[in-house]
Amino acid sequence: MTAPPPEDPFERVEAAARALARRVLWEQGNRIGLLRCHAAVGLVAGAQMLAFGSTTTLEVLFGPPIRMVLGVLGIVGGIALFVGVHATPRSIVQEATGLFLLGLWDLLMTLGLTYARLHSSTFGLRWPWTPMPPVNSGYVPPYPIAVYGGMFALICIHLYTLHTFRKSGAPPAGKDPIKEEGE
């Protein structure tokens, strides 16, 4: 039995380029999905803050206007991000604006909750079997600070990625650079 003839080197390069292009499109699709999720969270959480209030500790410390600031930041950021991602052609400026506003919202939540936690002066450990203090006690658990801080970090990564894409001259999401070159 004889070995099959070696593949044409140009066919191997073309196959590798197509595989890379498919991977890039998958990565772009994944990023777009995450951006849609950020936009939806901004819209829903911002609307809930306006309708039902933000965290009690923030409103007690900073007054009811904080509800309006945080709610509007979430809604406007979510809308700008959603429109920027879905515009044809894609609007990098609107996408960046939405990300910036949502990042500012996450940063304000992180800083506000950190301030509220420091202001409450309750730093003792709470064992899992120990009941939580009453809702109106002013106790601020630390985990929301980590959640909003993590969301702020993710938004910063999205902004950096967007800046890098724009700077590199990469094609907008959903475009197949190999197909377009051959057409």
DSSP string, 79-148: HHHHHHHHSSS--HHHHHHHHHHHHHHHHHHHHHHHHHHHHHT--S---TTSPPPPGGG----SHHHHHH
The share of the chain scoring above pLDDT 90, in percent, equals 32
Give Dmax (Cα) for the chain.
Answer: 84
Greater confidence (63 vs 173) lies with: 63
Return all residues near 47 (Cβ < 8 A) that are at least 6 apart: 71, 74, 75
Q: Convert the pLDDT of each residue in 80-90 to its tens digit.
A: 999 998 888 77
* Residue 28 DSSP SS3: helix
- pTM (two decimals): 0.76
Q: Which stretch of DSSP H or E encloses residue 12?
A: helix 9-52
Q: Residue 180: what residue type?
A: E
Q: Is the pLDDT of residue 40 over 80?
A: yes
Q: Is the peptide bond before 133 cis (omega within 30 degrees of 0)?
A: no
State the pLDDT confidence band at 3, using cuts at 50, 70 and 90: low
Q: What's residue 147's pLDDT?
A: 92
User: Rounded distance, CA 43 to CA 115, Å?
Assistant: 25
Would you state the structure tokens that stand for residue 157, as one six-digit string?
């990564």
